[in-house]
């Protein structure tokens, strides 16, 4: 039987180096007078370095109809990014009239502010360049090798059974870019529920042909790009000419052979997809500032 706390939503509602705020929201199917969320976050924790962990209690805040809320205030919070993947972890409990109803002990959260502007992509206030790799799995040994190569993002074919990659990535220090077909609700719903809430979730790439089917595109965006979701949305170019793209597409992914056809197009920023054996550290293009980074395919 599903637990209510499986629906718990954890978001950074104030991102400030001096004092960060994390809000816990639980939707309730019916009003419960006397209900509250209790618990503590502990942290920060970083797999690559020793830390001193501090407890931060959850405190109730005024709730809207059908929503139960609490928050944790973290002074001088340690921020998550691939080089320093600091995480906070803890237990959240649902109480009603002085009795505990449920407990969830696997809550983790990273404080991270990823923002794609017209001129650059920033992570926690400084410029961030994508150095990616196609991957189907992630283990600590592989993670160490990839980090040594400067890899900070993994390109993953998202499905309902590989949530472990997102979980391992937030602990080991990688963003994850999920590739989706976008027209399969049996994949979209579990992906959003299990993957998207991880701090490691960079965003989603959908195929170019989906943009020609407005209803399918709208359905996918309603789930993946709704209110309060920071994830970036990209389109993978399959052919040129490209045609018009939906307004909230933040970047496109293309093979290097498509670049000449894109010169002069009013496009968002571009991620190059290339083969492992064709590694290049610089891009010769008329507008290099539009290059967001690269993603290497795994070796054939």
Q: Which residue has the higher pLDDT, 209 or 163?
A: 209
Domain carrying residue 55: 4-109
What CATH number does residue 283 fall under? 3.20.20.80
pLDDT band with cut points at 50, 70 and 90 for residue 59? very high
Residues 94 and 174 in one domain: no
Domain boundary among 71, 92, 109: 109
What CATH number does residue 10 fall under? 2.60.40.10
pTM score: 0.91
The CB density around residue 35, as the number of other CB atoms within 10 Å, is 17
Residues 260 and 191 in one domain: yes
Residues 171 and 239 in one domain: yes
Please give the C-alpha separations between residue 140 and each of 107, 108, 111, 147, 211, in angstroms, as whole numbers: 21, 19, 22, 10, 37
| Secondary structure element (H or E) that encloses residue 207, with its range | strand 201-207
Judged against a pLDDT cut of 90, whether residue 132 lies above it is answered with yes
CA atoms within 13 A on the CB side of 160: 9
Residues 119 and 215 in one domain: yes
Q: Which residue has the higher pLDDT, 57 or 289?
A: 57
CA dist., res. 173 & res. 135, Å (int) = 14
Closest CA to 129 of 112, 116, 118: 116
Residues 95 and 123 in one domain: no
> Tens digit of pLDDT for each residue in 174-219?
999 999 988 888 888 888 888 888 999 999 999 999 998 999 999 8
CA dist., res. 293 & res. 89, Å (int) = 31
CA dist., res. 70 & res. 8, Å (int) = 11
Domain boundary among 56, 77, 109: 109
CA dist., res. 249 & res. 267, Å (int) = 9
Closest CA to 234 of 219, 218, 213, 248: 248
Is 245 in a helix, a strand, or coil? coil
DSSP labels for 142-197? HHHHHHHTT--EEEEE--TT-HHHHHHHHHHT-EEEEE--S--HHHHHHHHHHTTT
């Amino acid at each position: 039987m599903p637990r209510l706390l499986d629906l718990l939503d954890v978001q950074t509602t104030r991102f400030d180096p001096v004092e960060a705020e994390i809000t816990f929201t639980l939707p309730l199917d019916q009003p419960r007078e006397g209900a509250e969320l209790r618990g503590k976050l502990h942290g920060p924790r970083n797999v690559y370095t020793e830390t001193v962990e501090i407890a931060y209690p959850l405190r109730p805040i005024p709730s809207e109809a059908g929503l139960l809320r609490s928050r944790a205030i973290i002074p001088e919070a340690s921020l998550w990014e691939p080089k320093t993947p600091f995480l906070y972890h803890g237990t959240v409990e649902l109480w009603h009239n002085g009795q505990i109803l449920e407990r969830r002990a696997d809550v983790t959260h990273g404080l991270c502010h990823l923002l794609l502007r017209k001129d650059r992509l920033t992570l926690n206030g400084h410029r961030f360049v994508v150095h990616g790799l196609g991957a189907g799995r992630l283990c600590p040994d592989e993670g160490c090798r990839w980090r040594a190569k400067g890899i900070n993002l993994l390109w993953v074919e998202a499905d309902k059974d590989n949530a472990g990659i997102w979980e391992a990535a937030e602990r080991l220090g990688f963003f994850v870019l999920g590739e989706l077909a976008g027209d399969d609700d049996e994949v979209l719903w579990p992906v959003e529920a299990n993957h998207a809430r991880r701090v490691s979730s960079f965003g989603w790439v959908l195929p170019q042909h989906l943009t020609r089917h407005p209803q399918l595109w709208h359905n996918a965006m309603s789930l993946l790009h709704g209110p309060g979701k920071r994830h970036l949305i990209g389109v993978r170019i399959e052919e040129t000419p490209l045609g018009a793209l939906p307004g909230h597409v933040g970047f496109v992914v293309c093979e290097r052979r498509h670049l000449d056809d894109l010169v002069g197009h009013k496009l968002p920023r571009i991620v190059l997809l290339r083969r492992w054996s064709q590694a290049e550290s610089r891009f010769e293009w008329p507008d290099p500032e539009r290059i967001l980074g690269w993603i290497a395919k795994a070796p054939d």
